[in-house]
Amino acid sequence: MDRNLNNGVAIEEESAQAPQQNEGELLESFGYKQEMSKSISTISNFAIAFGCCSILSGLTPMWGDAMMSGGSVAVIWGWVLVSIFTMGVGLSLAEICSAYPLTGGLYIWTSQLAPKKWVPLACFVTGYCNWLGLTVAITSTDLSLAQFLGSVINMQNPDYTISKYWEFGIFLVIAFIHGVINSVSVRYNGFFNQTSLYWHLIGTLLLVIVALVLTPNKPSAEWVRQIVETSFSLPMTQVFMDGVGNKWTIVFCVIIMGAMFFSGSALTLGSSRMVYAFARDGATPFSPYLSKVNDYTKTPVWAVWANVTFAAIVGILYIINDTAYGAIVSVNTIASSAAYFIPIYLRLTVSRNKFKRGPFHLGPFSHVIGWCSCFWILFTFILFVCPSEYPVTPDNMNYASVIFCFVIFASVGYYFVYARKWFKGPSKSMEPDAFMDEGFAAHKQQELFDKYQVDQVEHST
């Protein structure tokens, strides 16, 4: 089957019946050279994705806000409702991913779906939205870890209150450690991510079982008031204290802090690789540096520390404004949502006829789920930009819109002033990349060694 999008229009039924190309042929039809090994195991893929999503680090920090705003109904049924629509967004993206199974993800999908005239600008905006969402996620995750650590210190020393400045200092140390981890040899990343997966699964199971067994029912309004008036940075810590006592609360906090630490490291890894790929196409300032790989560690060290630095700068809002943490989380959500919206919308509109579905598709429900996903993203985008209190003051202002608009306007301005002169979208070059090729060669060598060991074991038995 001809997968070149410039060679006419093919209906979906024909594409579904035509034989599938292998991935190398598919990459070449798009103008790419297969540089990385695609033999990564399912468990490793799942571990990286699970680490970035991190149920424990995503739910626990904001639980108190949800509880105070809408009570248990908002916490439980709100989560169910959001999960349904989020699943729709995931399915729409999975359909596009199946058609274009390329490493660049959203950035590459946009280049294949946008009209040729608008490919550079569409890719530019998508790439920067994706980068902003990933990088600010580092800030929110590491700040949450600093808050939990502050709560544990407060538990052991009730007379000592951890200030925001101390928490910000802890946050900087955590971000620095994540930068170091992702600057060392790439061979340790696989082990680290799989450890993260087991930590999340076992830790979540332990937390749920122990909490159900030991926690008495506390439905009174007095209990909710006690949570609101707690001295801990995160109300969830007070819930643990009331339910399972001091010792188990420390265990729970250690489990959650470990999950947050792994999540922050996975986000640093993902965002640095995204910047590295983006810089290779000349889409970022200082591209020669951000696309450079350290000869010894074989990691994009400049990209790692650029992201860590930006995450630290955004974290300054935490010590300036009382509602800053919510704004940081909002930026993460609206930037990522914008990056999801663009390829889904393009697939439903300008590419609705030329889109050739892959092995996974939504059949007759594709457009319905796609449009529902688009409206849901726009709805949540508006909600996360709006202030959470009225009247709006400098202290309760939602600065998410300020951060998001600054980055997007700056990136678009950079494109029109400079980058449009050389940036034409993802590179079509077939030239090899030393970092990718060496990594691929090392991976294949390890594969051969592992196969040799398996053969030896089977032969001996």
Residue 46 domain-assigned? yes
- State the residue for tokens 């003051």: 393
Are 307 and 135 contacting, i.e. CB atoms less than 8 angstroms apart? yes
Number of domain units in the chain? 1
Residue type, 287: S
CA angle at 169 for the pair 164 and 172, rounded to the nearest 5° = 125
For the chain, the first-to-last Cα distance in angstroms comes to 45
- State the residue for tokens 């629509």: 85
Count CA atoms closer than 13 A to 407's CA, side-chain side. Answer: 27
State the DSSP H helix or E strand holding residue 95, giving kind and residue range, or none if neither.
Answer: helix 63-99
- CATH at 111: 1.20.1740.10
Residue 460 domain-assigned? no
| Lowest-pLDDT range of 14-23, 211-220, 305-314 | 14-23
Residue 455 domain-assigned? no
φ, ψ for residue 191 (rounded to 5)?
Answer: -60, -45
User: Would the pLDDT of 377 be above 90?
Assistant: yes
Report yes or no on whether pTM surpasses 0.85: no
Question: pLDDT value at position 311?
Answer: 92
Whole-angstrom CA distances from 86 to 83, 90, 270, 373 are 5, 6, 21, 8
In the numeric block, which tokens belong to residue 318? 């935490």
DSSP 138-196: HHHHHHHHHHHHHHHHHHH-TT-PPPHHHHHHHHHHHHHHHHHHTTS-THHHHHHHHHH
Are 58 and 260 contacting, i.e. CB atoms less than 8 angstroms apart? no
pLDDT in tens, 341-374: 999 999 999 988 888 888 888 888 999 999 999 9
pLDDT in tens, 50-82: 776 777 776 766 676 677 766 677 778 888 888
Reduced to 3 DSSP states, what percent helix, strand and coil does the chain have, rounded to the nearest 5? 75, 0, 25
Q: How high is the mean pLDDT of the chain?
A: 76
Residue 228: domain span: 12-430
Q: Rounded to an integer, what distance in angstroms lies between the CA atom of residue 91 and that of residue 380?
A: 18
Instruction: Print burial letters for 149-166: b (CB count within 10 Å at least 16), e (below 16).
Output: bbbbbbbeeeeeebebee
pLDDT in tens, 99-125: 887 766 788 889 889 888 888 889 889
Residue 441 domain-assigned? no
Residue 435 domain-assigned? no
Q: Rounded to an integer, what distance in angstroms lies between the CA atom of residue 196 and that of residue 255?
A: 11
Residue 181 domain-assigned? yes
In the numeric block, which tokens belong to residue 380? 């949540």
Residue 6 domain-assigned? no
Segment 193-210 shows an average pLDDT of 84
Residue 450 domain-assigned? no
Question: pLDDT value at position 400?
Answer: 81
Count CA atoms closer than 13 A to 442's CA, side-chain side. Answer: 11
Segment 37-59 shows an average pLDDT of 65
Count CA atoms closer than 13 A to 160's CA, side-chain side. Answer: 10
